[in-house]
């Protein structure tokens, strides 16, 4: 699977824009030359065949690759035209070896003042950039990159290759998502015995939430809507970053513990928090929970782990040891049952989530050890 992230450059100076335009002009000319040579059956082309072109050789080589594949498509299309015609506004394309991303800075080679030079450009710091960096940190391979101009703005498009990794684990991870603990995971083996667990405390997130809520109210009284929007964006980015980190750690634990299935609750109606929090905060929370589940889901899939959603009914009231359902057993963070089970309430829930799935597959008669 391939994903392309289009990143907008912060407005370059006039001087740099001119360098871009000069290189784009050369790319267009170069591509047309390449197409003519291919049409004349010269197929073994290298950058050395284009001495008069003012472009870095890596760009010329990439042009050769691009035009070859475009030419094949052109031939198949049975077009009445003589050859492919390139419009003046061509992208400058790079293979994965010739461009670089460091934080929010992209560096690429361009031709300027008679030689090939490296230039660095900052891009806007967006959610998209965050997602891309998350992939890069996890060793997903960079593929093609391209600089292009559209509607008076400059963009750099980065393509990455995602490979689904194989996984043959049989263990099960139940994940409980909430406010006090953003996520609690319990890993159980096929006999239902817990072999590992992970907690993601919500204290810091709660603090940040309060801070932004306070700011929003203050600005709301002053009716500064633009400022409120900018604060909402900041809060969203902060949560997104946190969700990336939590989901990464959960999936890493799942891989480490040979988990084949991750089980989560279907949170369409967030029962746990609905009463305890104010309406205005409910939206941002349900959105954050949903995003966390989405991140867990796609990271798990890439690791070859299956995702199952179950009905959340009774997962927080039921005793994970004896199975008794008793609403009063849960008091804040503690779950305590007559049978002697005294554990963190959210860990109790995550065990129930894992077990609920384990029971359904046992009822189906599927062999777990296979």
Q: What residues are labeled active site?
A: 176, 265, 346
Q: Which is nearer to Zn ion, 129 or 337 (CB)?
A: 337
CB 173 within 8 A of CB 354: yes
Q: Least separation, in Å, of the C-beta of 341 and Zn ion? A: 4
Coarse DSSP helix, strand, coil percentages of the chain, rounded to the nearest 5 percent: 45, 25, 30
Q: State the minimum distance, in angstroms, from the CB of residue 358 to Zn ion.
A: 17
Q: Between residues 65 and 321, which has the closer beta carbon with respect to Zn ion?
A: 321
Contacts of 110 (CB under 8 A, 6+ apart): 19, 20, 23, 56, 92, 116, 117, 118, 119
CB of 189 to Zn ion, least distance (A): 20
Alpha-carbon distance of 257 to 155, in angstroms, equals 41
Closer of 23 and 317 to Zn ion (Cβ): 317
Tokens of 300: 């798990």
Query: For residues 209 and 330, which CB has a smaller minimum distance to Zn ion in the complex?
Result: 330
* C-alpha pair distances (Å), 357 with each of 90, 106, 143, 150, 173: 53, 45, 39, 50, 10
Backbone φ and ψ of 333, nearest 5°: -85, -5
Residue 324 Cβ vs Zn ion, minimum distance, rounded to whole Å: 5
CB of 103 to Zn ion, least distance (A): 51
Q: Quick one: 100 or 341, whose CB is closer to Zn ion?
A: 341
Q: Which two tokens stand for residue 294?
A: 């989405």
Report the alpha-carbon distance of residue 103 to residue 105 in Å, rounded. Answer: 6
For Zn ion, the binding residues (CB under 5 A) are 319, 321-322, 337, 339, 341
Closest of 196, 200, 204, 197 to residue 181, by C-alpha:
200
Q: Who contacts 64 (Cβ-Cβ below 8 Å, separation ≥6)?
A: 34, 45, 46, 47
């Amino acid at each position: 699977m391939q994903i392309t992230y289009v990143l907008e450059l912060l407005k370059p100076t006039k001087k740099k824009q001119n360098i871009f335009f000069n290189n784009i002009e050369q790319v267009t000319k170069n591509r047309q030359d390449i197409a003519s040579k291919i049409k004349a059956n010269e197929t073994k082309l290298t950058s050395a065949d284009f001495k008069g072109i003012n472009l870095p050789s890596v760009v010329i080589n990439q042009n050769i690759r691009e035009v070859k594949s475009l030419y094949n498509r052109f031939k198949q299309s049975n077009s009445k035209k003589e050859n492919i015609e390139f419009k003046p506004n061509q992208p400058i394309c790079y293979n994965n070896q010739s461009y670089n991303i460091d934080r929010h800075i992209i560096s690429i080679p361009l031709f300027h003042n008679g030689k090939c030079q490296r230039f660095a450009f900052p891009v806007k710091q967006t959610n998209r950039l965050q997602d891309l960096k998350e992939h890069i940190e996890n060793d997903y391979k960079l593929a093609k990159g391209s600089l292009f101009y559209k509607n008076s703005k400059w963009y750099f498009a980065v393509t990455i290759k995602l490979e689904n990794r194989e996984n043959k684990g049989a263990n099960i991870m139940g994940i409980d998502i909430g406010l006090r603990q953003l996520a609690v995971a319990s890993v159980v083996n096929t006999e239902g015995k817990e072999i590992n667990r992970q907690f993601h405390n919500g204290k810091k997130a709660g603090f940040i939430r309060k801070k932004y809520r306070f700011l929003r109210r203050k600005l709301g009284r002053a009716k500064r809507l633009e400022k409120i929007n900018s604060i909402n964006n900041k809060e969203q980015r902060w949560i997104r970053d946190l969700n990336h980190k939590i989901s990464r750690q959960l999936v890493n634990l799942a891989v480490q513990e040979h988990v084949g299935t991750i089980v989560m609750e279907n949170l369409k109606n967030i029962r746990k928090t609905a009463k305890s929090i104010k309406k205005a905060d409910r939206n941002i929370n349900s959105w954050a929970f949903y995003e966390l589940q989405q991140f867990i889901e796609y990271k798990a899939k890439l690791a070859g782990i299956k995702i199952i959603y179950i009905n959340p009914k009774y997962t927080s009231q039921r005793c994970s040891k004896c199975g008794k359902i008793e609403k009063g057993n849960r008091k804040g963070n503690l779950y305590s049952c007559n049978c002697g089970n005294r554990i963190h309430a959210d860990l109790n829930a995550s065990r129930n989530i894992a077990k609920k799935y384990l029971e359904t597959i046992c009822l189906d008669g599927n062999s777990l050890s296979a």
